[in-house]
Structure 1
Amino acid sequence: MTKLRRTIVAPIAAAALFSAVTACGSDSDADTSSTSASTSTSTAGPSGAPNGFPGGAPGGGGLQTFTAVDLDTDGANASGANTTEVVAAATAFLATLDTSTAGKVSYDFADSESRQTWSNYPAQQVPRKGIALSELDGDAKPAAMALVKTMLSAQGYAQVQTIQQADDWLRANSASGTDSFGSDSDYYIAIYGKPSATGSFMVQFGGHHLARNYTYKGATVSITPDFTGTEPKSFTIGSTAVEPMKEKADTLFDVFDSLRDDQEAKAKLSGTIDDILMGPGVDSGKFPATQGVAVSDLSAEQRTLVLDAIAAWVNDASPGAAASLMKTYTAQLSQTHVAFANSDTVDGESTYLRIDGPRVWIELVNTRSRSTPNVHYHGVYRDKTDDYGSTNPSA
């Protein structure tokens, strides 16, 4: 069937459309009186969560929950990590900080709850661990971003920059909540454990619509949980159009565009899914039951499209680690399923797309916005056996 594809609304002049702009719809529904993500009182779980979310709406202040777990376990980490380079960049960053500032950046590796503090919400609504880029003086901010750049591929770092640019767009075009947005004030960096070529440590970087959680163990690395999103989907800087999630969205929609009617019928989930299911605070290790159409039932060309979609997320990591993970996910492709809910059109209300394998889990959703007249993207990539470098976080 023919789907309404690639019809992203042209970049808008917000002032002409809205007299007041706030945070994106599902993001701004958070309890803004929350002072710490770790003090959530919600007890919602996988079987009785509000709005159909295991653990509550993703990242939402008073709805965010935590599971007390030991994250320092033997995860199925990717090989090929550029750990030596990351250690050098982390050490150089820490060397730019005075004692007081370094104390805000550095955490004990065993501090599991802090390591689990990430969200898609603005940092003003769900406070992050670490220090905001806006608080870094002199050489410290460039050194922090050099560390982030070293952790990622060129593709992954470019996406960090465009997501931050989207937050600057919100700041410039918002009549309210301007203090919540911005590429400096809304993004934080934290380091867990002492950066070492042999021991375990983690670098955490993120803010509104971004979470990078990279856990290193010698020459290996865990690169999940990983959240990427953007509000709006498309905007302009000068005369240049920017689409932070273009490759991730395009490759996923290519998969669902390719489905025959009988395949699409198998891929469609019953019920409504309003946002990502395995978002921040959902760390039980219990993923939804596998549903959808099996990749083994797709054509060779369609299977290639699925691999391209997976690679669009995995290739944000440094090349060696990404290659290691893609080898694993490729070997498991016949056991992987793809599914969608609500709609599978690019601008569909609550369009929800999923890739679900023995290890890989990817979700992309169009969620309602209050800052533009359109929907915008939330996306998450998780590894079922290696989030935070742990084999089984729920143990």
Structure 2
Amino acid sequence: MKRKNLSIFLLLFVGFSSLFEGCKSSDVDATSSTSTSTGTSTGTTTGSTTSNSSSITTALAVTATTTTCNSTGVAQIVCLAEAFKATLSSTQLAATQLTYSKTNAQKWSNLPAGMSARVGINLGSLSDTQLAAFRNLMVAVLTLGTTDEGYDEMIGNLVADDYLSSIGGGSTYGAGNYYISFLGTPSTSSLWAILFTGHHYTQPITFNAGAVTGVTPAFRGTEPQAAVTAANRTYQAFEQERVAFAAMLTGLSTTEQTTAKLSGSYSDLVLGPGQDGKFPATKSGLQVGTLSSDKQALVLKAIKLYVNDLDATTSAAILTKYTSELANTYISYSGTTAMSSQGDYVRVDGPSVWIEFSYQGGVIIKNTPHSHSVWRDHSGDYGGN
């Protein structure tokens, strides 16, 4: 009898131990990782970080579309938006389909959604079918096939946030905390917008009368700045931009750098979230029109890394305008020209374009800088509404 009781006890012990281990695993975000980042407060882009992707980023990384929306342009985007909406329950749809208003359009931030509320429905609540429909929509509005730009940059940002969740950020971070909403009913004849927003990534696209009327304010950033490997892919979502700005600034002569240098220091963006319409009355820095053609090309290259995130038709129209205004655009910076140290800051300010890049202290990964950046348009934010 004692042996029988002992056997029962051992079976129960093993069972509860397995259950306990399973619970511990589920308490961790869907990503598991080991950090091998070698970054410091300067030169933080070397090394790599390993992270297994969450089920969300794994699903979204499959870029092949499965849709019957065979129209083109805005009509196709409307079709894809409606196809996504058709996968939602009535409760989900009520959270996603909202009225177009200033209050709703301004619901974006560089903070995680748990610290700054968003509108819409979060990716973590979507099924595989719903994620596929969301993917089809975003593939249509962002460029596809360029490493760490456009749609690939979006995925890299989500992967990085999964990593932050797994190393101590907790449930506040991660791909599941990014939100999609429609402000106004998708249409080829009226005003409406797509708003996709979460920590370190915001992309609005405003439409009116069947045309894209605005794609800003668009926020980009990433922590870690170093590469993140997930599902056999390596992402470094916002490194090209940092490198492009460094090339732009280090390519200037000593005299030009002196003219471009700002007098103050900048720990973050000037026109980040909540700072709509507060463009400086006077431009600062170095006028691009005074530069040689090769140096002007470096300025334009940096601008393109933002604009070319969008679909080819939309980006071409915006670049035509920004290129025509390039001579009257100004560049300025604070800190070092290498854009590799905490406190480094650069700005591009044109008649239309406004881009800021700030290299600032880490939040989850201490003593390791990461990037914040915002792209605005003097007259085109929120589609000019």
TM-score, normalization by structure 2: 0.79
Matches of 2:283 and 2:222 in 1, distance apart?
27
Counterpart of 1:42 in structure 2 is none
What are the within-5 Å matches in structure 2 for residues 110-121 of structure 1? Answer: 111-121=101-111
Counterpart of 1:163 in structure 2 is 157
Matches of 1:190 and 1:95 in 2, distance apart?
14
Q: Pick from 206, 211, 234: which aligns with 2:226?
A: 234
User: Does 2:76 correspond to 1:82?
Assistant: no
Q: Pick from 358, 382, 385: which aligns with 1:388?
A: 382
TM superposition shift of 1:286:
3.4
For the 8 Å contact 2:162–2:173, the answer to whether it is kept is yes
TM superposition shift of 1:219:
2.3
For the 8 Å contact 1:224–1:381, the answer to whether it is kept is yes
Matches of 1:149 and 1:96 in 2, distance apart?
17
Q: Pick from 214, 217, 225: which aligns with 1:225?
A: 217
For the 8 Å contact 2:42–2:342, the answer to whether it is kept is no
For the 8 Å contact 1:234–1:244, the answer to whether it is kept is no
- The SS at the match of 1:377 is strand
Give the letter aligned to residue 123 of structure 2: L
Matches of 1:89 and 1:13 in 2, distance apart?
34
Matches of 2:298 and 2:320 in 1, distance apart?
16
What are the within-5 Å matches in structure 2 for residues 13-162 of structure 1? Answer: 82-109=73-100, 111-154=101-144, 155-162=149-156
Matches of 1:269 and 1:288 in 2, distance apart?
15
Give 1 or 2 for the bigger CA radius of gyration. 2
TM superposition shift of 1:137:
2.5
Q: Pick from 348, 363, 369: which aligns with 2:356?
A: 363
Matches of 2:158 and 2:237 in 1, distance apart?
9
Give the letter aligned to residue 250 of structure 1: V
Give the letter aligned to residue 187 of structure 1: Y
For the 8 Å contact 1:271–1:342, the answer to whether it is kept is no
For the 8 Å contact 2:266–2:343, the answer to whether it is kept is yes
- The SS at the match of 1:198 is coil
Matches of 1:162 and 1:249 in 2, distance apart?
16
Counterpart of 1:17 in structure 2 is none
What are the within-5 Å matches in structure 2 for residues 296-315 of structure 1? Answer: 296-315=289-308
Give the letter aligned to residue 81 of structure 2: A
Cα deviation 1:141-182 (Å, max 9, x = unaligned) = 2212221221111131111000000001111212xx301111
TM superposition shift of 1:7:
6.5
- The SS at the match of 2:205 is strand
- The SS at the match of 2:372 is strand
Counterpart of 1:316 in structure 2 is 309
TM superposition shift of 1:283:
1.3
Aligned CA distance change for structure 1 residues 5 and 333 (closer, same or farther; 3 Å): farther
Matches of 1:284 and 1:384 in 2, distance apart?
7
Give the letter aligned to residue 376 of structure 1: H
Matches of 2:228 and 2:279 in 1, distance apart?
40
Matches of 1:82 and 1:135 in 2, distance apart?
29
- The SS at the match of 1:365 is strand
Unaligned runs of at least 5 residues, structure 2: 1-40, 52-71
For the 8 Å contact 1:189–1:206, the answer to whether it is kept is yes
For the 8 Å contact 1:153–1:315, the answer to whether it is kept is yes
For the 8 Å contact 2:104–2:183, the answer to whether it is kept is no
Counterpart of 1:283 in structure 2 is 276
Give the letter aligned to residue 46 of structure 2: V
Q: Pick from 10, 13, 37: which aligns with 2:47?
A: 10
TM-score, normalization by structure 1: 0.77
Matches of 2:94 and 2:233 in 1, distance apart?
40
Aligned CA distance change for structure 1 residues 99 and 378 (closer, same or farther; 3 Å): same
For the 8 Å contact 2:113–2:198, the answer to whether it is kept is yes
Matches of 2:186 and 2:44 in 1, distance apart?
45
Aligned CA distance change for structure 1 residues 95 and 241 (closer, same or farther; 3 Å): closer
Cα deviation 1:2-40 (Å, max 9, x = unaligned) = xx99762312589xxxxxxxxxxxxxxxxxxxxxxxxxx
Q: CA RMSD in A?
A: 2.0
For the 8 Å contact 2:50–2:229, the answer to whether it is kept is no
Greater RCO, 1 or 2 (C-alpha within 8 Å, sep 6+): 1
For the 8 Å contact 1:365–1:379, the answer to whether it is kept is yes
Give the letter aligned to residue 191 of structure 1: F
Matches of 1:142 and 1:236 in 2, distance apart?
23
Cα deviation 1:25-84 (Å, max 9, x = unaligned) = xxxxxxxxxxxxxxxxxxxxxxxxxxxxxxxxxxxxxxxxxxxxxxxxxxxxxxxx9311
User: Does 2:303 correspond to 1:266?
Assistant: no
Give the letter aligned to residue 220 of structure 1: V
- The SS at the match of 1:348 is coil
Counterpart of 2:369 in structure 1 is 375
TM superposition shift of 1:250:
1.7
Cα deviation 1:342-377 (Å, max 9, x = unaligned) = 222232121001111000000111110132231000
Counterpart of 1:196 in structure 2 is 187
